[in-house]
Structure 1
């Protein structure tokens, strides 16, 4: 049975690599944020706004526990998922965990063009955005680094790089 959780900061490539990896292994791919949105028929932003962070994180945890029961699946978690409750420990106990580690410079470049889709980033100057990323990574590092595997997510810019990363990840996880 294959059950792999991809963790890391927003823009790390969890969805990009997760979809390609799932295709290569011929297993389903679940993006936890998309899963939550489908279940509740609301965007993550709406749920976060309506419920507040504490209630949203509880809901997120419950949905994580639900998808962690799926067999033969690749799960991309939300960037904050590992940082709440015992989520990291839970994922480690229910499958293989991979932290997609990406240098702040690369995250900045990726997220700078995605601020429209990510409300938390809107309105930030380049300097504010970079500082925001560096600060968030420092706060989340103690959780991300609990993953069993650390993988360089900085090389997901082309089809070739994604294919190479899939092969490297297959080798790392021996799947």
Structure 2
């Protein structure tokens, strides 16, 4: 198995699915947002306030390339895909899976989460951001819809796809 990158908008289930998938595959998982917070020494929300979004995107780009090279699940921040070099790096170094979720369900899932810096935007702005990112997310090797699904169902779909992909490569 190659490295697996999970991409998608905030609230799509990347971290939750990533943990369950890592457990199922018996590989480590790393969340890029947590990794950045650990390396920089402050929460992402604070990075956005003190240094701005451009600095955070630079950290994403830099730290993506410093992740350990072993087989693992990598859950990415929702904006990781907006930089072409990140999309290209992920495709070259692993399998990219876009976890799609309908916007209305995303809003329900993240309604009470105050750790997300972009949540302070108006609903219309968030929907526009989601729509702008859709083409980037869609560049993934596969799209898995998480809307209305349990974590176990999503993990099962991913496991089946990984097995098919590996069988084709043998």
TM-score (norm 1): 0.86
RMSD: 1.7
Task: Indicate whether 1:150 and 2:143 are aligned.
Answer: yes
CA distance in 2: counterparts of 1:18 and 1:74, whole angstroms: 6
Once superposed, which parts of structure 1, at least 4 consecutive aligned residues long, lie more than 4 Å away? Answer: none
Matches within 5 A, 1:93-132: 93-114=92-113, 116-122=114-120, 128-129=122-123, 131-132=124-125
1:1-175 correspondence to structure 2 within 5 Å: 1-67=1-67, 69-114=68-113, 116-122=114-120, 128-129=122-123, 131-156=124-149, 161-174=150-163
Q: Give the drift of 1:51.
A: 2.3
Native 8 Å contact 2:105 2:147 kept in 1: yes
- Report the Cα offset of residue 42 of structure 1: 0.8
Corresponding residue SS for 1:66: coil
**Counterpart-to-counterpart distance in 2, 1:73 and 1:9:** 21
Give 5+ residue unaligned stretches, structure 2. none
Which shifted more, 164-173 or 43-52?
A: 43-52
Question: CA shift at 1:113, angstroms?
Answer: 2.6
Aligned length: 164
Question: Which runs of 5 or more structure 1 residues have no equivalent in the other structure?
Answer: none
Q: Normalising by the residue count of structure 2, what TM-score does the alignment of the two structures yield? A: 0.89
